[in-house]
Amino acid sequence: MAETIKQTEALPASYPEIAPRWVSGQLTGTDFEPDPAQLWQQIERHVAHRWTAREVVWIVEGEGDWRPPLTPATIATVEVWENQSWTETTPPPSPFGGYALPSDGPYRITASVGSGTPPADVVEAFRRLHEYSRGIVDSFKNEPAFTGGEEGIPRAWAAKALHLSGAADLLRNYRRA
């Protein structure tokens, strides 16, 4: 069975722009504004879908069916390691989508991943995460668990923000490619 052993995902040039529910100062009077790129990265660690294009390289080993673990993916090249170098190859398609890799490899698969507009539930997840991130700064400003001094976010709360904000529930349908 083919197995993805390494995934190298480049950062996109930009992330989708989503207007937050509240602008700075309206919700709690705080001057803290979460970085949208950090919020998108937190969402993307949780899901297999991408909405902005970027390059991804997978190293795959083993014979058998393989599908990209991120979606939407447009495969640019498939290379196999032969004679101490990468050699471009064209494996046959798999009946399950993706490729039927004919040998143990390893293979290096390069693709462009991401396109389209985030659906309404992903937009709402971003807004919930944004709102939650703003709120915890005011609530926990004097806690010793803060990172980055007074302008930081509490470590434990930031790590759980996706779940505590309710965003993770909205993203459940996007966990798999």
Q: What is the pLDDT of residues 83-125, one digit of tens each?
A: 999 999 999 999 988 999 999 989 999 999 999 999 999 999 9
What's the domain range around 103? Answer: 54-113
Q: Reduce the DSSP state of residue 53 to 3 states and report it.
A: coil
Summarised one tens digit per residue, pLDDT across range 28-83 is: 455 567 889 989 999 999 999 999 999 999 999 999 999 999 999 999 999 999 99
98 and 68 assigned to the same domain: yes
> How far apart (Å, rounded) are the C-alpha atoms in residues 167 and 132?
10
Q: Is 61 left (phi over 0), alpha (psi -120 to 50) or beta?
A: beta
Looking at the fold, whether 67 and 106 belong to one and the same domain comes out as yes
- Say if pTM beats, i.e. exceeds, 0.95: no
Q: Are the CB atoms for 119 and 33 separated by under 8 Å? A: no
Q: How many domains does the chain have?
A: 2
Query: Is residue 59 located within the same domain as residue 107?
Result: yes
Pairwise CA distance, residues 41 & 15, whole Å: 9
Q: Would you call 111 helix, strand, or coil by DSSP?
A: strand
